[in-house]
Structure 1
Amino acid sequence: MTGARTIIGMSGGVDSSVAALRLRDAGEPVAGLFMSNWADDGSGDCRAEDDRRDAVAVCGRLGLPIHFRDFSREYWAGVFEHFIAEYAAGRTPNPDVLCNREVKFKHFLDAARELGAERIATGHYARVDRLDGRWRLLRALDRSKDQTYFLHQLGQLQLAATVFPLGDLPKTEVRRMAADAGLPTAAKKDSTGICFIGERDFREFLGRYLPAREGEIRTPDGLSLGRHQGVFFYTLGQREGLAIGGVRGRDAAPWYVVGKDVARNVLYVEQGIDNPWLMSTRLRSEAAHWIAGAPPAAAFGCTAQTRYRQNDEACTVRVGGDGRLDVVFQRPQRAVTPGQSLVLYAGDECLGGAVIESTDAPLETARMDAA
């Protein structure tokens, strides 16, 4: 038992540092907890030990106790195995969504309660309130930093026991508060990308778990343009890493990934950032998760994001008897990617979301028709 009512997840970054600072200054009985979610593989690319030292230093500066828990086994089973299986199927998963659901708001919450706390806090940019007896997940006031996209799998039990101290702050103010308080993370660079890959080469890392198999790069109309090192390494809309030079009879315009055929090991590409092969207006999802516990209606209008930091896109949603969603957008969408998350909003309120299963993009439609 710690005597702390709130346990804050200390990541070693500036956001969790200032979240802890705000809780302490508000008089909240608080303690920190550092989570180890990925076992060091000896590559030198994992920054977990540096983050641990920074978390300890911040808690020392703030006069807060800090605890440590190793969730690497839970992370492997709940997040990483799914990540690899999705790439093997030719989809592009979002491990941050699963990490929040399976680790940060599940095992971390359980650990906090074992320590005698009533609730947890994190440095996410989001807000929580309660209206008419129901907990709501709301966008952060700083929309450029809003992270509700990654939190859409939370439910009533988690939101009832969660606080987001940064939800009303712009990032510039967070940096200023950290500097004014003399926190050692004040100028620390924000982490980017997938946490367990770090700064290393993505292909090299993924190749450890999925055997790379060379195959053909071609256009949708059958023009062969070269060879790829493995379709798993590419995602829709990607431009980098294609190594396609000048093509006779074609403009000197960039090429983009427009489709993958995993069974035939073919990577499809075409020129133009908004070429028709990348566009879709409909998608079908896996069974949806609703933050309120149920959808607002069997059919309704709302806005959606199919990737992080995307602008709101108006759409209509129909909920099937199996919980899957059929979504139609008011205007065509670029590079909507199976395996990624569709997240739905009503104004600032995040309603929930689902994993994208398929779209009506031309190559996807042809693949479904052939199946």
Structure 2
Amino acid sequence: MRVLVAMSGGVDSSVAAARLVAEGHEVTGVHLALNRNPELYRSGSRGCCSLEDSNDARRVADTLGIPFYVWDFSDRFHADVVEDFVAEYAAGRTPNPCLRCNEKIKFAAVLERGVALGFDAVATGHYARLGFAGEDAELYRAADAAKDQSYVLGVLTQAQLRRSLFPLYGTVKADVRAEAEALGLRVASKPDSHDICFIADGDTAGFLDRALGERPGEVVDAAGAVLGTHGGHHRFTVGQRKGLRLGVPAADGQPRYVLAISPVDNTVTVGPHEALAVSEITGIRPTWAVAEPRLGSWRGLVQVRAHGTPLPCGIEADAEGVRIALDEPAFGIAPGQAAVLYDGDLVVGAATIAGAR
């Protein structure tokens, strides 16, 4: 099989490539250049598209004896991921750029080009298990629960999953590092990436200030009483506790959290933790990882954060969206995030959270 491996320069994608070579596949490595500004194609970061990362990926490819290329997807990345990120915050929502990158870049743009060049599949270093029932692909959680990344893959379609490979599905992280060490790969001890890759200094609020401009507004309580001011609602997300800078302490002395963000009047509403409790989630723009959309009423699990706890729930789904009734209240559900639906360990699909009550 001709396989294109998206090599970030980290240990996971490096070992994924090595395993495919060992299995006898015809492997080519590709590193994605995603920043249009060369100054952001940087050294010393903990993102996933720095100059350091590109060089690391190239060295791994040389060690494995496979062809290696750098593909420039910076314009498409800017339009589909960066501009989407800014627009979502401007609208008072909290997006997940890594999930959007998987959806729009790694398993859409890269796969599209790879298929056009004659490749059979695209492989990554994600921790998730891919199985098949006949010709239908089935995406499951990884064996290592601490590293499971099925959540950020939940937006993938059948067409994309059928041409995907996740060689690390049954491995724990410590074993991946040991395998890289045994292969003589210099990335064996390289730290995992955590930063949003297009925010070089890790200052998300500052990045959004530069993109949207400062827009002072009020911080209020549920009754509308003004408690303080802010420099822009885009600096906040539902459930946030730190950085509120309130001039008026709560009467009970307890911490306050962001309950709601209103971009129309540029206000941020805060209140006690118990006011964050949510029993129902509404999702829009559903996508289905399974071959047949799971419409109608059914019971399953929903995950609302990349490393969140799966929550038992009842689900009502149609072509327009999903309504999720949680068995037990959850806290800090932010509009704009993804609600990924599971049947046990099987990923069924995903929707964008539009509201919660």
TM over 0.5: yes
The AA in structure 2 aligned to 1:355 is T
Aligned match of 2:287 in 266, 278, 289?
Answer: 289
Cα contact 2:238–2:259 (8 A) shared by 1: yes
The AA in structure 2 aligned to 1:270 is G
Aligned match of 1:185 in 180, 184, 187?
Answer: 187
Distance between the aligned counterparts of 1:118 and 1:295, measured in 2? 25
Q: CA RMSD in A?
A: 1.8
Give the structure 2 partner of residue 9 of structure 1: 6
Q: Is 2:75 the partner of 1:73?
A: yes
Residues 108-134 of structure 1, C-alpha deviation per residue, up to 9 Å, x if partnerless?
Answer: 112223433211110011111111432
Aligned match of 1:93 in 92, 95, 114?
Answer: 95
Cα contact 2:228–2:248 (8 A) shared by 1: no
Cα contact 2:196–2:202 (8 A) shared by 1: no
Give the structure 1 partner of residue 156 of structure 2: 154
Q: CA deviation at 1:265?
A: 1.4
Deviates more, 1:137-146 or 1:223-232: 223-232
Alignment of 1:52-131 (within 5 A): 52-131=54-133
Residues 326-351 of structure 1, C-alpha deviation per residue, up to 9 Å, x if partnerless?
Answer: 11000101111111000000111100
Distance between the aligned counterparts of 2:175 and 2:234, measured in 1? 40
Cα contact 1:318–1:327 (8 A) shared by 2: yes
Residues 107-160 of structure 1, C-alpha deviation per residue, up to 9 Å, x if partnerless?
Answer: 111222343321111001111111143211111111111111111111121111
Structure 1's 189 and 248: CA in aligned 2 closer, same or farther, altered over 3 A?
closer
Give the structure 2 partner of residue 254 of structure 1: 255
How high is the TM-score relative to the length of structure 2? Answer: 0.94
Give the structure 2 partner of residue 222 of structure 1: 224
Give the structure 2 partner of residue 319 of structure 1: 317
Residues 217-238 of structure 1, C-alpha deviation per residue, up to 9 Å, x if partnerless?
Answer: 1221334322111111100111
Give the structure 2 partner of residue 339 of structure 1: 336
Deviates more, 1:142-151 or 1:256-265: 256-265
Residues 46-83 of structure 1, C-alpha deviation per residue, up to 9 Å, x if partnerless?
Answer: 75211110001111111111012100111122222222
Q: Is 2:37 the partner of 1:40?
A: yes
The AA in structure 2 aligned to 1:254 is P
Give the structure 2 partner of residue 366 of structure 1: none
Give the structure 1 partner of residue 354 of structure 2: 357
Structure 1's 41 and 239: CA in aligned 2 closer, same or farther, altered over 3 A?
farther
Give the structure 2 partner of residue 369 of structure 1: none
Structure 1's 248 and 146: CA in aligned 2 closer, same or farther, altered over 3 A?
closer
Aligned match of 1:164 in 163, 166, 184?
Answer: 166
Aligned match of 1:330 in 323, 327, 330?
Answer: 327
Distance between the aligned counterparts of 1:133 and 1:201, measured in 2? 44
Deviates more, 1:96-105 or 1:218-227: 218-227
Give the structure 1 partner of residue 306 of structure 2: 308
Alignment of 1:193-204 (within 5 A): 193-204=195-206
Runs of 4+ off more than 6 Å: none
Aligned match of 2:25 in 18, 28, 34?
Answer: 28
Distance between the aligned counterparts of 1:155 and 1:59, measured in 2? 29
Aligned match of 2:212 in 203, 210, 214?
Answer: 210
Deviates more, 1:152-161 or 1:333-342: 152-161
Q: CA deviation at 1:314?
A: 0.6
SS in 2 for 1:18: helix
Q: CA deviation at 1:164?
A: 0.4
The AA in structure 1 aligned to 2:11 is V
Q: CA deviation at 1:306?
A: 1.1
Give the structure 2 partner of residue 367 of structure 1: none
Deviates more, 1:37-46 or 1:304-313: 37-46
Structure 1's 232 and 41: CA in aligned 2 closer, same or farther, altered over 3 A?
farther
Residues 275-328 of structure 1, C-alpha deviation per residue, up to 9 Å, x if partnerless?
Answer: 2321110111113111124333411000110111111111111123x4211110
State how many pairs are aligned: 352
Alignment of 1:269-284 (within 5 A): 269-271=270-272, 275-284=273-282
Could you list the runs of 5+ residues in structure 1 that have no partner in the other structure? 361-371
Q: CA deviation at 1:359?
A: 1.0
Distance between the aligned counterparts of 2:286 and 2:117, measured in 1? 33
SS in 1 for 2:188: coil
Distance between the aligned counterparts of 1:200 and 1:23, measured in 2? 34
Residues 229-277 of structure 1, C-alpha deviation per residue, up to 9 Å, x if partnerless?
Answer: 11111001112211236727441x3332111122121111224xxx232
Distance between the aligned counterparts of 1:37 and 1:142, measured in 2? 29
Percent identity (aligned): 37
Cα contact 2:137–2:291 (8 A) shared by 1: no
